Amino acid sequence: MKKIILGFLLITSGFSAFAQKEPDDIALATNEFQISYYEALKQKGIENNDRAIESLQKCLVLEPNNAAVYNELGRNYLKLKKFKDAYDAFEKAVQIDPKNRWYLHGMYDVAYQTQDYNQAIVLVTKLVAFDTNYKEDLTSLYMYTQQYDKALKLINEMNDDFGKSEKRDNYRKQIMLDARFQGSEKEELLKSIAKNPKDESNYIALIYLYSSSNQEEKAVEVAKKLEIAIPESDWAQVSLFKFHLNNNDGTKAVKAMHQIFDSPKIDNKIKHRVLNEFLIFAKNNPGYDADLLKAVAYFDSDKDVAVAKEVGKFFQNKNDWNQAKSYYEMDLKNNPNDLETALLLFEMYVKLEQFDVLSKKSEEMTELFPSQPDLYYYVGLANNQLKKFSKAKDYLETGMDYVIENKALEINFNIQLGEAYNGLGDQKKKELYFKKADQLLKK
């Protein structure tokens, strides 16, 4: 509605061109212009941009210097991705009425969509004079064109004028990966901390800078200052946690870790890193099993990473079957349909010779995955070990039908079938299956 009203006001201002004509001629031209213009708006509204352009061109015949018509032409050409025509139309509108920022914004739209970022910078610089909010666009364009010095200057300026924003903080972090800017930025942050010691974000940015340049001692110093200045700060604990681990102070490290995990302010990626560091510490320092279990439990609802499963794999690679089993059980409890976790867990039961629980759980899983041969194999193996040979045989024979192009699994099925028939006293079939396994091994 605003566009139509604006268009109408702009159109009527052009009617003075008819001042020297007869009244009937003026009325005729005015009506013809309005009919064509509103027809163009209607056609644009139903995305019939070609028809809209035809109507606008009729308007230009009647009013060749109407900026609003050129602006509408630009919008329709842009919809059709006729970028040069769109840019030319917007540019003509600006030439006629340089004080209307929306015409200039049209040129910016074209430059941005065609990824002509250098031209977009020229246009947005002009738009800033109309509205300082365009500085956000200008910062992004400086980042796209890797003009980091200009971007950083603008970020600092906007932080002072409007306060900080997450987007600008992310841009700053990206810039700080370039060593050329780190020294001056560190000095700037130190000044900001001295000026406003209660602004947590300056400490966080400085900790990040020191950490990224492997100046861990200085990062810890800043974290300690943050803890003193803002005792309730969760971010201080991120660096202090690492400091406590390096000092082999598990008690303080655990306390810092739980505060980090409880904090909604701290990103999950950082929390994962903290957990990984504590995992290695706990493995090398017995006595922290309960703390590790509690730490992993924080991630029960994590949809991106199956933390308990990954911890289980860590312990499995270290041949710590009991610990691996505990974490696989935790993950399977939270994700009962996770076949990968189930198979990892069943292998731990085999390692630990826990065949009763293996038999029960693998049999239950066959109901969820009735065509998954590995599950039938584990049921058969467990029941062979429990001397329930008839049950083992039935599950193994059923599962064998689902084995497709898996030589290792086929060998294992034949071995277990041989064991089952041996237990049942059928020596002929025992030899048959052992022979099949042997033949497959030799292939």
> pLDDT over 70 for what percent of the chain?
92
Confidence of residue 221 (pLDDT cuts 50, 70, 90): confident
Give the burial class of 53: count Cβ atoms within 10 A of its Cβ; 0-12 exposed, 13-18 middle, 19 or more buried: buried
The average pLDDT across 291-309 equals 83
Judge whether 55 and 65 are in contact, CB under 8 Å. Answer: no
Domains of the chain, start order:
1-113 (1.25.40.10), 353-443 (1.25.40.10)
pLDDT computed for residue 182 by the predictor:
66
- Assess whether pLDDT exceeds 60 at residue 37: yes
pLDDT for the residue 3 = 35
Residue 85 has pLDDT above 60, yes or no: yes
> Which segment of 73-82, 182-191, 192-201, 349-358 scores lowest on mean pLDDT?
182-191
| pLDDT, tens digit, 9 for 90 and up, residues 257-271 | 999 999 888 888 888
CA distance 383 to 317: 27
Q: What is the mean pLDDT of residues 410-417?
A: 95
Rounded to the nearest 10 degrees, the angle between the axes of helix 101-113 and helix 67-79 is 20
What pLDDT is stored for residue 179 in this prediction?
65
- The residue-averaged pLDDT of 328-347 equals 93
Among left, alpha and beta (phi > 0; psi -120 to 50; other), residue 388 is beta
Dist CA 392 CA 421 (whole Å): 9
Mean pLDDT of 231-260: 88
414 — pLDDT class (breaks 50, 70, 90): very high
The amino acid at 249: D
What is the overall mean pLDDT for the chain?
Answer: 86
pLDDT of residue 99: 93
Q: What is the pTM of this model?
A: 0.54
Burial of 357-370, coded b for 16+ CB within 10 Å and e otherwise, reads: ebbebbbebbeeee
pLDDT value of position 73: 96
Q: Which residue has the higher pLDDT, 232 or 257?
A: 257
Is 232's pLDDT higher than 60?
yes
What is the distance between the alpha carbons of residues 434 and 416, in angstroms, rounded to a whole number?
9
Residue 28: the pLDDT is 45
Give the pLDDT score at 273: 86
Residue 27 pLDDT: 43
DSSP secondary structure letters along 138-163:
HHHHHHHTT-HHHHHHHHHHHHHHH-
Least confidently predicted of 392-396, 410-414, 439-443: 439-443
More confident residue, 342 or 443: 342
Residue 169 near residue 201 (C-beta atoms within 8 A) = yes
Q: What is the pLDDT of residue 54?
A: 94
What tens digit of pLDDT does each residue of 10-29 get? Answer: 333 333 333 334 434 434 45
Is pLDDT above 50 for 255? yes
In this predicted structure, what is the pLDDT of residue 46? 92
The confidence score (pLDDT) of residue 434 equals 94
Name which residue leads in pLDDT, 340 or 15. Answer: 340
Whether the Cβ atoms of residue 256 and residue 241 lie closer than 8 Å to each other: yes
pLDDT tens, position by position, 317-336: 889 999 999 999 999 998 89
pLDDT surpasses 90 at 174:
no
CA 136 distance to own-chain centroid? 22
pLDDT tier at 234, thresholds 50, 70, 90:
confident
